[in-house]
Amino acid sequence: MNLHNIGVIGAGTMGNGIAQICAVAGINVTLLDISAGALEKALATVSKNLDRQVSKGILSEPQKHTALGNIHTSTDYASLANAQWVIEAATENLELKRRVLQQIAANVSEQCVIASNTSSLSITELAAGVNAPERFIGLHFFNPVPVMGLIEVIRGLQTSDTTHAQAIELAQYLGKTAITAGNRPGFVVNRILVPMINEAILVLQEGLASAEDIDAGMSLGCNQPIGPLALADLIGLDTLLAILEAFYEGFQDSKYRSAPLLREMVAAGYLGRKTGRGFHTYG
């Protein structure tokens, strides 16, 4: 794949993970965020993750330094001028993503492919704000990006066959397996997974079992590597709530109504691992 320059928008958990795997694959990455502090934190996270891969023998020390050297940070959208691909990884908010995508489209070449790392929002709707929407596609990476082997590739109504084929090729180049999903809320994986997590929260809310027992039951009884409540904490309860609300709005079906306990925990600021407290407590 003749790919040399890629832009990643958003230096949070997903963005820095996407930047890391692109850099390890030998691609020059422009990691863009509005905050210099967020960019510094992202680089520190990537360095720590690469150190972990070195300790496990996945990478050598020289490969780590090469990968870090492939990541360049910026707060200016003009730095995307030479990007062949740009992946938007902003917070899961429709209006925010629209604003970001409009700024990307205004600063990249006509040949640049633009993708959104969304877990629930409509690719067709997001593409409506991008000139030449045939070059727009959804790429749903999974957390943690360097570890998880899947990318969901989501076509909007306007996405061209060429863009779709390039997305599949990109996934393979990054060492991931791609599956293609239609443009419906949640696509494939989250359409199945998120209602299951919501049901686990309802079981906890009813006092049927403790958080520890629910997670142990699903891990040991269903061979899941992590229980649903621990997974909710990893995803972020605010993100989980946003996905459920997108489902509820998109399908107009009460089965996607979020558990009251989930809404209450988000209101309290108990968002999971990133705040140190969710359904479990973290040091």
pLDDT per residue rounded down to tens, the chain (283 residues): 789 999 999 999 999 999 999 999 999 999 999 999 999 999 999 999 999 999 999 999 999 999 999 999 999 999 999 999 999 999 888 899 999 999 999 999 999 999 999 988 899 999 988 989 999 999 999 989 999 999 999 999 999 999 999 999 999 999 999 999 999 988 999 999 999 999 999 999 999 999 999 999 999 999 999 999 999 999 899 989 988 998 999 899 999 999 999 999 999 999 999 999 999 999 8
Number of domains comprising the chain: 2
Which one is catalytic: 107, 116, 140, 183?
A: 140
Q: Confirm or deny that 143 is annotated as ligand binding.
A: yes
Q: Confirm or deny that 12 is annotated as ligand binding.
A: yes
Q: What is residue 271's predicted lDDT score, i.e. its pLDDT?
A: 98
Q: What is residue 36's predicted lDDT score, i.e. its pLDDT?
A: 95
Q: What is residue 92's predicted lDDT score, i.e. its pLDDT?
A: 83
Q: What is residue 91's predicted lDDT score, i.e. its pLDDT?
A: 87
Q: Has 190 been annotated as catalytic?
A: yes
Which one is catalytic: 88, 107, 152, 258?
A: 152
Q: Has 223 been annotated as catalytic?
A: no
Whether residue 163 contacts residue 113, with contact meaning beta carbons closer than 8 Å, is answered with yes
Query: Is 278 part of a structural domain of the chain?
Result: no
Q: Confirm or deny that 57 is annotated as ligand binding.
A: no
Q: Which helix (H) or strand (E) holds 172?
A: helix 161-173
Which one is catalytic: 122, 190, 198, 258?
A: 190
Query: Is 105 part of a structural domain of the chain?
Result: yes
Closest CA to 167 of 175, 183, 178: 178
Tokens of 245: 């609300």
Which one is catalytic: 117, 119, 183, 198?
A: 119
Whether residue 106 contacts residue 25, with contact meaning beta carbons closer than 8 Å, is answered with no
Is residue 199 domain-shared with residue 125, that is, in the same domain?
no
Q: Confirm or deny that 10 is annotated as ligand binding.
A: yes
Q: Confirm or deny that 274 is annotated as ligand binding.
A: yes
Q: Has 264 been annotated as catalytic?
A: no
Query: Is 280 part of a structural domain of the chain?
Result: no
Q: State the Cα–Cα distance between residues 222 and 224, nearest whole angstrom.
A: 6
Given 182, 202, 224, which residue is the final one in a domain?
182
Given 132, 159, 182, which residue is the final one in a domain?
182
Q: Confirm or deny that 51 is annotated as ligand binding.
A: no
Q: What is residue 143's predicted lDDT score, i.e. its pLDDT?
A: 86
Is residue 59 domain-shared with residue 132, that is, in the same domain?
yes
Is residue 170 domain-shared with residue 211, that is, in the same domain?
no
Is residue 118 domain-shared with residue 154, that is, in the same domain?
yes
Query: Is 102 part of a structural domain of the chain?
Result: yes
Is residue 14 domain-shared with residue 92, that is, in the same domain?
yes
Inter-axis angle of helices 36-55 and 13-24, to 10 degrees? Answer: 50
Given 133, 156, 182, which residue is the final one in a domain?
182
What is the extent of the structural domain holding 267? 190-273
Q: What is residue 93's predicted lDDT score, i.e. its pLDDT?
A: 85
